[in-house]
């Protein structure tokens, strides 16, 4: 009898864990695709106006960073979405491991 009770408890814990996992999997995260960045003094920033072009540190054709909640998780290429030519997408070319994505481990 005790073995059956233990098995039942273990099954209940697994099922409860499944519900917890399901809840976690539904948490929204912010995904951003970073085309590049630029550093400039505030004085130059204040001079920017409509039509100004800010050169970025990435070149055309270089992979872009895919960032989720502030961490680089992948790299990819910018593409035009097939079903909607007015939208950009990203084709993932590399999944970044934890050590490469976060220098702190």
User: What CATH number is given to the structural domain containing 91?
Assistant: 2.30.330.10
pLDDT recorded at residue 105: 47
* 35 within a domain of the structure (yes/no): yes
* 6 within a domain of the structure (yes/no): no
> 77: domain range?
29-101
**HSE (side-chain half, CA atoms, 13 Å) at 37:** 4
* 23 within a domain of the structure (yes/no): no
Per-residue DSSP letter, 59: P
Contact 13, 19 (CB under 8 A): no
pTM of the model: 0.65
pLDDT recorded at residue 101: 45
Each residue of 12-33: pLDDT tens digit?
Answer: 665 555 678 888 999 999 999 9
Number of domains in the chain: 1
> Which has the minimum average pLDDT: 19-23, 81-85, 94-98?
19-23
* 45 within a domain of the structure (yes/no): yes
* 22 within a domain of the structure (yes/no): no
């Amino acid at each position: 009898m005790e073995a059956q009770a233990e098995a039942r408890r273990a099954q209940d814990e697994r099922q409860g864990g499944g519900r917890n996992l399901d809840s976690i999997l539904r948490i929204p995260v912010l995904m951003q695709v970073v085309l590049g960045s630029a550093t400039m003094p505030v004085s130059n920033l204040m001079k920017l106006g409509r039509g100004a072009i800010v050169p970025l540190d990435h070149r055309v054709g270089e992979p872009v960073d895919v960032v989720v909640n502030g961490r680089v998780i992948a790299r990819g290429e910018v593409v035009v979405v097939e079903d909607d030519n007015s939208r950009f997408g990203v084709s993932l070319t590399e999944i970044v491991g934890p050590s490469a994505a976060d220098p702190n481990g």
